[in-house]
Structure 1
Amino acid sequence: MASATFVTSLEEEVNCPICQGSLREPVTIDCGHNFCRGCLTRYCEVPGPAPEELPACPLCKEPFRPGGFRPNWQLASVVENIQRHKARSGPAEEDACPQHGEKVYFFCEDDEAQLCVVCRAAAEHRAHTVRFLEEAAGPYREQIQKCLECLRKEREEIQEIQSRENQRIQVLQTQVATKRQRVISEFASLSRFLEGQHSVLLAQLERLDEDILKQRDEFDALVTGEMCRFSALITELEEKKERPAKELLTNIRSTLIRCETRKCRKPEAVSPELGQRIRDFPQQALPLQREMKMFLENLCFELDYEPARISLDPQTSHPKLLLSEDHRQARFSYKWQNSPDNPQRFDRATCVLAHGGFTGGRHTWVVSVDLAHGGSCLVGVVGEDVRRKGELRLRPEDGVWAVRLAWGFVSALGSFPVRLALQEPPRQVRVSLDYEVGWVTFVNAVTQEPIYTFTASFTQKVFPFFGLWGRGSSFSLCS
């Protein structure tokens, strides 16, 4: 292995600088550099810019006399020994010009063609920029290096996006798994409650049915008794009527009085108390109704965002914003308030933040907007380090994820504002923040029409964000 490496290194030392192949009939010129006799002869035949000038060495550019070639027999012997060693080791393939069979060692930059010495001397390449292969490859290597750097940078960006999106997918999968378990738990609890209510209500209905049957039997017995008594009187009167006058008139007044004073009782098949119990039975389902309502509220609460009880932070409010005493309403005013300057306060953008902020979780709040007198309103979230002093750029790159509501249109403030086509301008906007997933969603709180959704990667605390412009414009936080 060491011998082969030495031979390879020695072979590189005895290569012709022109053809890049092993020296053939090596000759030495005035500066001491060695070349193939044929390569140097053809090199001298290529006309230079000034025919009277001596040719320059291809390596050191020193002039030399074309007729001053000195054979280098010692170097020729070394080359012969190397070639003999290579012959024993196996033939090596060399790139050759397909047209002339000569070694390719030039590159024409005009035609982007690789040339041999014969090609280089051809008329079509004499006026072109022709360089040695290695010399010509240098600038292209630099360009390739720049391309590689750009591609590697873009690949890193794609990998970062892939990593971020994979994390977002994992968070969503965790949320879905949690919701699945919550749904299973809630419905299992509801199923147990429904089974209990099912048994209770059926038992109550069974008791009502039994009471109805009992009162029916009592009613039937009473009616049967009354029918028997009336039937006996009717039979008695029918017999009395058919008797002779003497017998008919015997005790006639007593008989008539007994018939006339006989009052017919009118029994009821169902007592008023039982009827009231039947009418009141739907009230027995009120606990079920309350439980179902509570179940749906709890289920929606578990599956939806957590309602955020937020209030405005007066330490961040621009002096042109008038805040209510409970810090849940704001109104724009051209009159500046006497507000002390502090690092948290906006001094140019008429904006205000909410207290607290969020570093995780899923939160939602509703904002009611009043633009009856014109103006516009901003609603959204901002990062903790959002610019408070000077001009505030309303775009995600500067930590602002918001929509602008104006009279007659709504815009999403992305890298470039986008005017949104909505069925109707929202007067109440629900803002929902999913910190881990990176979603900021806006929905018309009245019609539930989606407005816009931003996707971000939050790494710091974010705050609910509001802004107002124009006389009379205002907003309030809904409970």
Structure 2
Amino acid sequence: MPSMPSQEETPCPGCTGPLKDVVTGTCGHTFSRSRLLPPSQMGAQPSCQVLLCVLCKEKEPMKPLVVPVPLGPLGETCCEEHGEKVYFFCETDAEFLCVACREGPSHRTHAVGVLDGAAQPYRDHLQSQMDARSLEKKQMECTRRREDEKLQELLTHMHGKKQQVDEAFGRRRQELADHQCLLQARLRELERQIHLEGEAYTSRLSEEIAGLGTQVQALGEQLQRPVSALLQGRLSQYETKTFVTPETISPDLVKKIRDLHRKILPLPEMLRTFSENLAHYLDTDSGKQLGVWGPFSPPSTQSKAANRATRYVKCGA
């Protein structure tokens, strides 16, 4: 039996001493071989006797025990019985053998292989697993790069859409501001004309009032004259002109005010309807609502980037 330096420091669960000549039963427990069989029962092939586990007391069947692979380097493993280096591995007893053990009666008829050859299937399996994991890792990295590119493209598309929305609403705001300025200018012009015609009306009316005042005063003076003087005069000289009240503002200005009033009157309802239709348009899934934008028509086609982004979102869903 070879010595296993890396396991000697581990205590045996059966005797709490160091693990020596380690075996593992079919029950899964690992302990020293000396705790499994009395020395008087040790035969030429002790690993094939009926054994009793010292931990679970389970009777073991007639099958070879498994010897754990030593944790230390194989080059440092030496045969405990002969003190020679271990070069072989007994597949029947799962034991490491030196040259003397290999030629001994206990393993002469067993399937024995060189250590490197015995370990080759394990190396091949590990290499196969490593290659498979490496390939899977590369595939996942490619998938991550591809999806990252899609996400970045989608984010770029969203950024462009944000700018498009800002530009669209900015243009609408500018157009509304221009229309507002135009209406305000027309209202200010009408106010100016109203002030001018109002001042003219007030001035003319003031002149007429002053003239009437002069006539009233003259007539009052005539009333104070003696009867003889009144009779000498003619009645026609006391007649006054009929006063015609002037128009406050001209008919042309009235027409301008009425025309602008007819334009402004439905404006709040138009803007409210536009706002409601826009909100309804944005809340619908398809976004295909007729007459939503009023005088503003939405784009009829999407860009290639928008189509790609839409396909990506549908695939992701």
TM-score by length of 2: 0.45
Between structures 1 and 2, the one with greater strand share: 1
TM-score by length of 1: 0.33
**Bigger radius of gyration:** 2
